[in-house]
Amino acid sequence: MPTSISWDEFRLVKAIADAKSLVGAADKLGVNHSTVFRRLGALEGAIGARLFERSRNGYAPTPAGEEMIALAAKMEHDVVDFERAVAGRSTKPAGELRLTTNDAFLTWLIAPMLASFRKAYPDIRLDVVVGHENLNLSRRDADVALRATLEPPETLVGRKIARIGWGAYNPADWRGADHERPWVGFGEGPGVAGPRRWFDDNVAPEAIVCRIDSVAGVASAVQAGIGSGLLPCLIGEKLAGVVRVGDKLPFGDDMWLLTHPDLRHSARVRAFMEHAATELTKLRRDIEGDA
């Protein structure tokens, strides 16, 4: 293989392998489809071997392609390790800090904490990624994560803030019998295994009139009067026109503030972890549903 192959060409081959299509690779690389097609053809011509075969399932790597993909993955891993190590040596709390969390935490819990953090550290720019999927902190998809989980990854470090309390909530104007009430259930989004088991054990399938794959979405639906629902107490207790029925429910994940070991000594990461832990711990009773 010629020594003139650049890192960009390794990235190209890995992007095609990951996406299994030229269009998907083009989206990932931020170029157009024809550019990916042209670059792949030029690369295959330069090395004198085909790297992919087109099939019904997309682009499948040849043996030569597999070798190049494996090397590209190792190179990418080494680059990320280097970037993470350099980021961990920063001494001044400045620059960009990327936080990943879910929509419920952002809307009902951490927005005031983010505001106070910005006042305390004006040289740090926050990039907040909201979503259900857990971004990979080892790959530096994010610097810090606020997650609901009972089993944080062993590759990360951080602290547990509280156990998240859950309850059943009714629209305040519900006047029917408990066994007649309609329910708003959860879709296939991650992070709600406990509530799904509770529904399986306590609610008839025909009583679930709506499913939503977001805790924030369920909260909005209950508040709108579509039906009763299960909500974290930190949300349910703040919703106007919604009342809790009964005691806390016997399930709930822990709230964890996490980062990668290589980043915990970074000034901006350390500043955020300390500030967030202090402010969120003040809200422990709200989070656990005991306020």
Report residue 240 as tokens: 């106007």
Asked if domains 7-88 and 166-245 share a fold, the reply is no
* pLDDT for residue 262: 83
Distance from the first to the final alpha carbon of the chain? 66
Provide the token pair at 154.
């062993």
Q: What confidence score (pLDDT) does residue 84 get?
A: 58
What's the CATH fold of domain 7-88?
Answer: Arc Repressor Mutant, subunit A (1.10.10)
What's the helix, strand, coil split of the chain in %, to 5?
Answer: 45, 20, 30
Query: What are the extents of the domains in the chain?
Result: 7-88, 95-164+253-288, 166-245
Q: Are 239 and 181 in contact (CB under 8 A)?
A: no
Cα gap 97→44, rounded to integer Å: 39
Structure-token match 């711990």, residue found = 281
Q: Tally the C-alpha atoms within 13 A of residue 14's C-alpha that lie toward its C-beta.
A: 17
At the topology level of CATH, where does 95-164+253-288 sit? D-Maltodextrin-Binding Protein; domain 2 (3.40.190)
pLDDT for the residue numbered 288: 95
CATH number for the segment(s) 166-245 = 3.40.190.10
Residues found in the chain: 291
What is the rounded distance in angstroms from the CA atom of residue 21 to the CA atom of residue 5? 21
Per-residue pLDDT of the chain (291 residues; tens, 9 = 90+): 445 678 788 888 889 988 888 888 888 888 888 888 988 988 888 888 899 988 777 888 899 888 898 888 887 777 766 665 665 555 567 899 999 999 899 999 999 999 999 999 999 999 999 876 655 555 557 899 999 988 888 888 999 999 999 999 999 888 877 778 999 999 876 567 888 889 989 999 999 999 998 899 999 999 999 999 999 999 999 999 999 998 999 988 999 999 988 887 888 999 999 999 999 999 999 999 987
| Pairing assessment for the beta strands 124-130 and 95-101 based on DSSP bridges | parallel
Beta carbons of 265 and 88 less than 8 angstroms apart: yes
Predicted pLDDT of residue 1: 44
d(CA 60, CA 55): 7
CA distance 243 to 231: 11
